[in-house]
Structure 1
Amino acid sequence: MITGELKSQIDQIWNIFWTGGEPNTITIVEQLTYLIFIKDLDEKEIRNELKAKRGFTYTPIFTEDQQNFRWKNLKEMDVNARHQIFSNTVDGIFPFIRSLGKETSLFATHMKGATFGISKPSVLDQVIEKLDNIDMTHQDTKGDIYEYMLSKLEGGGTAGQFRTPRHIIKMMVELMQPTLEDTISDPSVGTAGFLVGAKEYIDKHNDVTLLDKYADHINRKMFNGTEFSSTMLRIASMNLYLHGVEEPNIIDVDAVSKDNTIANEHTLILANPPFKGTIDKESIAPGLKNVTDTSKTELLFLALMLRQLKTGGRAAVIVPDGVLFGSGKAYKSIREEIIANNKLEAVISMPSGVFKPYAGVSTAIIIFTKTGNGGTNNVWFYDMLADGKSLDDKRTLLVDEDLFISFSFGNALETMDLETKQKLHSKFNLPQIIDHYHYYKSDFFKKNHAENGEVLQVKDLPENLGFNDFMPETITHDYSDRTSQSFLVPFKDIAANDWDLSINRYKEIVYEEVEFDAPSVILGRINQLDAERQKVLLELIKFS
């Protein structure tokens, strides 16, 4: 969460770079990332050392000869001696971090370009002092720092790219429930927020024995992505490495170009692809143009995901609203491909303020499964009205900070009681979204509801109807009611509307009937008020 205090701390570090003679924002972002990475390596080592006292076995990150590379020792050094360790190109810190990971791994490949770029010892000294004062222990502050740093790049991002807020990532990961069998991809990987979120989910929902069994799959095959920015490649690689993925497959390629040949490889895609980018038509992969003949990246990425998924693979993707209702041929063709030739599961409409202050665009999450032969029956729509923060540029928290942080980074979904969820709903829809979708996908839904979502009268034990697994209002909700936030729309209605997926096309607005008095009655009241006014005026004149 970007707090005023964190902004101030990063702004101070930014000013140190500027006044120290470094005006290039990309360089500042990259150098800060290296320093955060070095700091986190030491914090990881400290955690392992504490675990070792309880019998935990681990391979040390730092050898006896590399103890000077640890943050706890670096921050205590003489200014010039410290700078020498950083600038040493033979056996200094940067050769060390370039050596992390196996020599043949993509992590090692991306890190080969990591170089130290802070020329003045005094600048390094001040930056380390400021970074050391930032508390990174109780939440994923690294991601918040990346978000704020990236906002300083031109336009808050490049080609419509904006870091996805962590609570939205958490919701999407919870919706899709990744498993140890999955091969997960983000074709616009950025800082690897979605992949890190998936890794945290997998770590949380599996015991150590299973994680050990799948260790090779986790380290080498499970996490995949594409990115053409060398800076983002390094940031993503470092982020995943710090979260326990030793050899993430983050490939240096323009995702929708001819150079990207990945097809039928992944079982789950989580992504927030660029919204406003375009690509030269000559460089677009031919197979993508067959699905949607366009140069717009928001459409090409959807075609790419269909190509990259295995049959039966699933995707949860953030798209701008224009993708849902655009009337151009390219827009219609990609929607028809997803709805008619594959299986569209859900459309979650998000309010326009979710990406503020970096962008005010209205967006939605679409969830689909690659089948290649259709399968869309009903599509679940949800009208998200509140995500826990104000929808203006300030994005002020509307719910308890600890609860919001626990939802975004911890286990609030498991610990939050029903009363709290219901009380918060008007300000925080995300728990209900997750509950409704999981219920809709469960066997309980088929038992309690007709095909159109109407509630059935079923007599059975509460546990056999799902009351032990879902919120009561989730089970008793009428999903055929299009005046509600959560409802179903059948395939035939969507096909009849030219594959339009905008929620306003299907949601019914109930207008409250207001009765007004007859004009004669209103005029009578006005005359009465006028007479009373005249009477008071005469009294005032009398005593003046």
Structure 2
Amino acid sequence: MSISTIVKSIQDIMRKDAGVDGDAQRLGQMAWLLFLRIFDEQELDLEAESNDYQPALPAKLRWGAWAATTITDPDTGEEKQNPKTGEALLTFVNDTLFPTLKSLPATREKNPRGFVVKKVMEDSYNYMKNGTLLRAVINKLNELELESLDDRHAFGDFYETLLKDLQSAGNAGEFYTPRSVTEFMVQMTNPKLGERVIDPACGTGGFLTCTIEHVNRHEVKGDATAHRTLQRQIFGVEKKPLPHLLCTTNMFFHGIEVPDQIMRDNTLARKRDYWKPTERFDVVLTNPPFGGMEEDGIEKNFHDDMQTRETADLFLQLIVHILKDKGRAALVLPDGTLFGEGVKAKIKEMLLRDCNLHTVVRLPNSVFAPYTSIKTNLLFLEKGEPTRDIWYYEMQLPPGVKAYNKTRPLRVEEFAACAAWWGGAQREGRVENAQAWKVPFGTLKADKQSEAKPYNDEAKAQRLLVSNLAHAIKELKAQLKDADADGKAALNTQIEQYQLEREQALEAEKQARAKADGIYWPIYNLDSPNPHVKASTLGDPDALLARHGALQTEIEATLGQLQAVLAAALSGKTV
């Protein structure tokens, strides 16, 4: 039976249960059950590999002890239906399983796998009220032949199904990053064995699983020592309980035995000094939430002149901060970040000063359909040197495809032309073509700084004049207390004159600053259009007017014919 069929069957069963209210609770229920099922499969593998392995959970809490569809009769040795169902099953889950797992005496040091279970189950709940229906759901999950699913993409399909349901359940901002996009971003970033890799908004772990597969394929190749290194180089942070649970499950399924580095937290809530230089990362891969706003106070963790509550803007700052020098990042960002002004421009100034934003891949606006129609971009950068040239590559819809959708998503092979153009790890030999162009940002910035310099110099001069006048006014006011009537009059006249000059200087400074800003800040509009595509025009005005007149004549003639037909019909005549 296919995964999608099993998922649908489980959902149908849950809809009959009075305790499960809506899609979000159905997904939460399915997620913790699946987690425990996969965890136990891995426990069996670890026990088979080593006689010294100590199980992470007490025997009575193992999936095979309470959830197996069939059990072996201790008297006859025959297989029979598991009698734990109905009220007995419900009582066990509510009164034994959950309380014990949530209070499991497991630490990261002494029982790391048990510690992972404890942390995951702390945010999980049994919503089902009917033990018989719960048994039916468990039996369906037991139909998943996890040990035979060599193609991990099949399990990725399961997650995609859950995420689609999660989106329809009203969790705005959570959407599935297409497998083709994650594969391409990982391929171009090329994480190496031993490099610390993080997704600070990891969701269900799509980028992390792609990274694991990439490193396994290119470097681990079955080597046990390399596999142990890979185990400890993957990091993720997810704010919401359900995606975090799914991500942890996904790590188990991809061979990460102790995914305690997948943390449930809000990465943005951590102060800047949380990330010690020795704890920063070689690679960041992420599709941060965009279009959302963070809670009050989160912005205080960022520099004063770049404080905002917009999630995507905060993540962009965070990514630059947590990267090591020479570290690499690939992230998904909306068009709004590219062309945004104000704080967004300040953030981009920092980004292009501290990092080499070497490539922007522009995606068609239907790549993330049906979750969002927002046009998105893939940004690739390296920390440590300022940006000199930004290469843009515009992905186009294949011939005959009007838009991507659920049945016709973006396929990884459609990135082949971009990958071939890329130029390898050093990005050598790139040339402009119908889809690729270069913006010499470093030269542009130098030119605009030079052009704006006279106005900046004027603004500084006016600011100095404002300061000097303020000092002079202060001194004159101090003299008033000792002056006679004539002296006070003269002093007040001088003070008024200086105050007028100060106001004029402030206005002059403001105007000079505005002219300088008008020259400089537009360079941070990174929404560069493809110069090889001619802008569409409406045509010659005279020809358009002539065509309009002809159409108007045709319309009037048609209306005349209709009126004649209607009049004839009303009078009983034929036309």
Question: Is TM-score (shorter-chain normalized) higher than 0.5?
Answer: yes
Query: What is the alpha-carbon distance in structure 2 between the residues aligned to residue 173 and residue 57 of structure 1?
Result: 37
C-alpha displacement at 1:157, in angstroms? Answer: 6.2
Aligned residue among 61, 80, 84 for 1:81:
84
Distance 1:72 1:23, change over 3 A: closer
Q: Determine helix, strand or coil for the equivalent of 2:328.
A: strand
Distance 1:135 1:314, change over 3 A: same
Aligned residue among 221, 240, 262 for 1:250:
262
Letter in 2 for 1:229: K
Give the gaps of 5 or more residues in structure 2: 72-80, 449-521, 544-575
Query: What is the alpha-carbon distance in structure 1 between the residues aligned to residue 105 and residue 191 of structure 2?
Result: 27
2:31 maps to which residue? 33
Equivalences for residues 505-524 of structure 1 within 5 A: 506-510=530-534
Q: Give the aligned CA root-mean-square deviation in angstroms.
A: 4.2
Distance 1:39 1:391, change over 3 A: farther
Letter in 1 for 2:261: N
1:14 maps to which residue? 11
Letter in 1 for 2:7: I
C-alpha displacement at 1:56, in angstroms? Answer: 9.3
C-alpha displacement at 1:277, in angstroms? Answer: 1.2
Equivalences for residues 254-273 of structure 1 within 5 A: 254-258=266-270, 261-264=274-277, 265-273=280-288
Distance 1:18 1:391, change over 3 A: farther
Aligned residue among 237, 241, 249 for 1:238:
249
Distance 1:71 1:485, change over 3 A: farther
CA contact (8 A) 1:178 1:268 kept: yes
CA contact (8 A) 1:267 1:309 kept: yes
CA contact (8 A) 1:102 1:247 kept: no
How big is each residue's C-alpha offset from its partner over 1:83-135, in whole Å with a ceiling of 9 and x where there is no partner? 64673568759957996986444624522414544332221233234445567
Letter in 1 for 2:195: D
1:300 maps to which residue? 314
CA contact (8 A) 1:31 1:117 kept: yes
Equivalences for residues 487-502 of structure 1 within 5 A: 487-492=437-442, 495=445, 497-502=522-527
Equivalences for residues 87-166 of structure 1 within 5 A: 87-88=92-93, 95=100, 103-104=108-109, 105=112, 107-113=116-122, 114-132=124-142, 137=149, 138-153=151-166, 158-166=171-179
C-alpha displacement at 1:13, in angstroms? Answer: 2.4
Q: Determine helix, strand or coil for the equivalent of 1:140.
A: helix
Give the gaps of 5 or more residues in structure 1: 408-427, 454-478, 520-544
1:376 maps to which residue? 387
Q: Determine helix, strand or coil for the equivalent of 2:70.
A: coil
Query: What is the alpha-carbon distance in structure 2 between the residues aligned to residue 203 and residue 145 of structure 1?
Result: 22
C-alpha displacement at 1:74, in angstroms? Answer: 1.1
Distance 1:242 1:10, change over 3 A: closer
1:23 maps to which residue? 21
C-alpha displacement at 1:194, in angstroms? Answer: 1.1
CA contact (8 A) 1:352 1:391 kept: no
Equivalences for residues 285-434 of structure 1 within 5 A: 285-290=300-305, 292-326=306-340, 328-371=341-384, 374-386=385-397, 392=403, 394-397=405-408, 428-434=413-419
Query: What is the alpha-carbon distance in structure 2 between the residues aligned to residue 279 and residue 8 of structure 1?
Result: 37
Distance 1:63 1:147, change over 3 A: closer
C-alpha displacement at 1:48, in angstroms? Answer: 7.4
How big is each residue's C-alpha offset from its partner over 1:377-411, in whole Å with a ceiling of 9 and x where there is no partner? 22221111248996647432489xxxx6xx6xxxx
2:571 maps to which residue? none
**Matched-pair identity in %:** 21
Query: What is the alpha-carbon distance in structure 2 between the residues aligned to residue 98 and residue 211 of structure 1?
Result: 33
Query: What is the alpha-carbon distance in structure 1 between the residues aligned to residue 396 and residue 269 of structure 2?
Result: 36
Letter in 2 for 1:81: K
- Greater C-alpha Rg: 2
Distance 1:282 1:91, change over 3 A: closer
- The answer on 1:276 being equivalent to 2:276 is no
- How many residue pairs match? The answer is 444
Query: What is the alpha-carbon distance in structure 1 between the residues aligned to residue 134 and residue 524 of structure 2?
Result: 56
Mean Cα deviation higher: 306-315 or 34-43: 34-43
Query: What is the alpha-carbon distance in structure 1 between the residues aligned to residue 102 and residue 213 of structure 2?
Result: 24
Structure showing the higher helix proportion among its residues? 2
Q: Determine helix, strand or coil for the equivalent of 1:429.
A: helix
Mean Cα deviation higher: 330-339 or 108-117: 108-117
C-alpha displacement at 1:230, in angstroms? Answer: 2.4
Distance 1:267 1:285, change over 3 A: farther
Distance 1:512 1:196, change over 3 A: closer
How big is each residue's C-alpha offset from its partner over 1:338-373, in whole Å with a ceiling of 9 and x where there is no partner? 2233211210111111111121111111011121xx
1:206 maps to which residue? 219
Distance 1:101 1:294, change over 3 A: same
Distance 1:110 1:64, change over 3 A: closer
Distance 1:241 1:346, change over 3 A: same
CA contact (8 A) 2:68 2:142 kept: no
1:420 maps to which residue? none
CA contact (8 A) 1:348 1:364 kept: yes
Equivalences for residues 396-475 of structure 1 within 5 A: 396-397=407-408, 428-437=413-422, 439=423, 441-442=425-426, 445=428, 449=429, 453=430
Query: What is the alpha-carbon distance in structure 2 between the residues aligned to residue 180 and residue 338 of structure 1?
Result: 27
Q: Determine helix, strand or coil for the equivalent of 2:309.
A: coil
Query: What is the alpha-carbon distance in structure 2 between the residues aligned to residue 170 and residue 161 of structure 1?
Result: 19
Letter in 1 for 2:346: S
Query: What is the alpha-carbon distance in structure 2 between the residues aligned to residue 112 and residue 395 of structure 1?
Result: 32
1:422 maps to which residue? none
